[in-house]
Structure 1
């Protein structure tokens, strides 16, 4: 173990990890060369920190009544978010920010296989069913949501696969068909849970990455056609999904039944006005608004902080997404560029669908608001994504 001893004079900080990774590079003969990293992109860091801190504050407010009534602790959800999400996420962020991003390409296939296995586990005795959906896996004391892990793993796999051969996307047999098979497997497993909204978002992210890698328009048109047919079939084949669409089209006719969620969300948004009723003063979160700590948290933000507070949150997300897009154009290679494109597409789509659903622009989706909604797996994965983004920024 003498060869793994750090050089004298280097403290056990970032330099240690970077030195150790260089040793791994030589040991496993990855043959990955890179120039000396620069300072990280502080726009990403600041936006991420602000969103996480604001999210914890909002979670404390939005979940206090539910936590107290169901678990006897007003801070129940906040504590779990910090322990299961923030602590793991900070570790993921710090590690990902110093691990050279090109290493992930070497394990892309392993990530894909892990995604398929993880999604399959929900249909075994390890799967947990809640509210009619089986989306969680329980292994001992650890519960996690495989669909959240799949988000980052699928993006890494597609970025590695698409960048390995720049002409692949222009070929039917080597590009389009394999891409279709991989996405179909992931989509099929997600729909079986069911997780329609997550499926839709991941499919759009995959298409975005495929398009940005130079795919032919005829293949994109075919993907769009297949997606439209598949979406219509899924909606009309399952009563509860069709009910959501009908409720979205005529919420006033179902205000006390299937349209209750949307009606209460709109009431909360309307109550906020310009500046809001004040932090912690929301009334709709008490007994009226379903899942105020998760699917409806933006409605609580709008009620307590009004239009100005809501605009501030949206601007933070917009700055983060546009910064990722700018960095994707400056990335040193296509792999890094596609990673940033995938991350930016995922965040922007989740933010859009969450806010649009609560505002009545699209059917209620159940999509969490990144960094803010309750969900330990989601927060940990999002922070890890930002860590990878920070690492890429050090080489732009």
Structure 2
């Protein structure tokens, strides 16, 4: 590689974005230790740093993934073999987990691999984004035409969401659908075709629902799911059971105030706040570091999301633009759902806070995705700043035609 070319590439990386990602990931590692040390000993009977050590290993693995995807040109992911692999592997993984997966919290969503567990649905999120971005990028010239064949990616998305929902994991299925919808709506697909398809789905639902509802009523309206709704509507009325998590989340946030009680000084993590190191980690951050700690996390996440949308807007390549939109939407949507559940704005769905909550599958997903977004950003900046200069130099080196010489 030309030395000047290498220097230009290094200069083109979005270092504020890289720093923001690593600041959140390292901050999350610290907060996982602080929020899990009591639960590790009292609830799980392991060493106080058990979850910290596991998260540290996951951060190292996800850091390697981040570095690889940051360096590999993002267009590699739209290769024919990659897309075909994603197309077939994603549903196979989701079907396999139903037969070979580990059941926890009444859902068979995990592959147990020794000391580690991997959730295929988390990995499928990024795979689906890559698939949708590649398919719609290849069809850019035809998307404005209302051709029915263009709807196949939507059917595939619904198939993936269905396979996740039957685990059952309705929360993740809904998130995947929302993220995919952001890519689909940004792709340039004919709105006329989308409206027609939506009306068709509504008609099918009107016919199928009365027939199928008696068979799935107990699953959809199970006591566990209804309890989440009750605790959302009036958590203090059910503070001893269904509303226990949300009420203690409120207490943690209230105790923290502006400056917090101090790092490691949370009271609610002493058995009062279940899942303090996973879904409710932002409540512990609020209690220990106060409003300033929460603002630090949310501002960094907002910065990453807005950066992603800016990258998508500047990118001249449809695949890169749609992929950046999808990754930014994924982080933004999951942040809203996590914080919304912890603060009682929406029902609790059990979604981790991006880059901060404990969990290997989610951390690898986010770090890998953000590595791709950093690479897209690098190409955007490189093309804007150096590409035209290199073309100018190449043009100057070419010998003039004889007819133009004097």
1: CA distance between counterparts of 2:154 and 2:348? 28
Match of 2:221 among 221, 238, 259: 238
TM-score (norm 1): 0.86
* Structure index of larger Rg: 2
Task: Report the counterpart of residue 184 of structure 1 in structure 2.
Answer: 158
Task: Report the counterpart of residue 193 of structure 1 in structure 2.
Answer: 167
Q: Which runs of 5+ in 1 are unaligned?
A: 1-6, 16-34
Task: Report the counterpart of residue 57 of structure 1 in structure 2.
Answer: 30
- With 378-387 and 238-247 compared, the bigger mean Cα shift is at 238-247
Task: Report the counterpart of residue 115 of structure 1 in structure 2.
Answer: 90
Match of 2:331 among 347, 355, 359: 347
Q: Are the equivalent residues in 2 in contact too, given 1:235–1:241 (CA < 8 A)?
A: no
- With 252-261 and 347-356 compared, the bigger mean Cα shift is at 252-261
Taking the TM superposition and a 5 Å limit, the aligned residue runs for 1:330-369 are 330-369=314-353
The 3 A distance-change label for structure 1 pair 170 and 278 is: farther
The 3 A distance-change label for structure 1 pair 342 and 149 is: same
TM-score (norm 2): 0.84
Provide the secondary structure at the position in 2 that maps to 1:252: coil
Match of 1:203 among 172, 177, 186: 177
1: CA distance between counterparts of 2:196 and 2:19? 40
The 3 A distance-change label for structure 1 pair 374 and 36 is: closer
Q: CA RMSD in A?
A: 2.5
Q: How many residues are matched?
A: 363
2: CA distance between counterparts of 1:179 and 1:130? 31
Task: Report the counterpart of residue 21 of structure 1 in structure 2.
Answer: none
Q: Are the equivalent residues in 1 in contact too, given 2:17–2:307 (CA < 8 A)?
A: yes
Does residue 1:392 correspond to 2:366, yes or no? no
The 3 A distance-change label for structure 1 pair 96 and 255 is: same
Task: Report the counterpart of residue 47 of structure 2 in structure 1.
Answer: 73
The 3 A distance-change label for structure 1 pair 221 and 281 is: farther
- With 347-356 and 194-203 compared, the bigger mean Cα shift is at 194-203
Taking the TM superposition and a 5 Å limit, the aligned residue runs for 1:208-227 are 208-221=182-195
CA-CA distance at 1:214 after TM superposition? 1.1
2: CA distance between counterparts of 1:200 and 1:136? 18
CA-CA distance at 1:242 after TM superposition? 3.0
Q: Which runs of 5+ in 2 are unaligned?
A: 381-406
The 3 A distance-change label for structure 1 pair 283 and 145 is: same
Q: Are the equivalent residues in 2 in contact too, given 1:43–1:320 (CA < 8 A)?
A: no
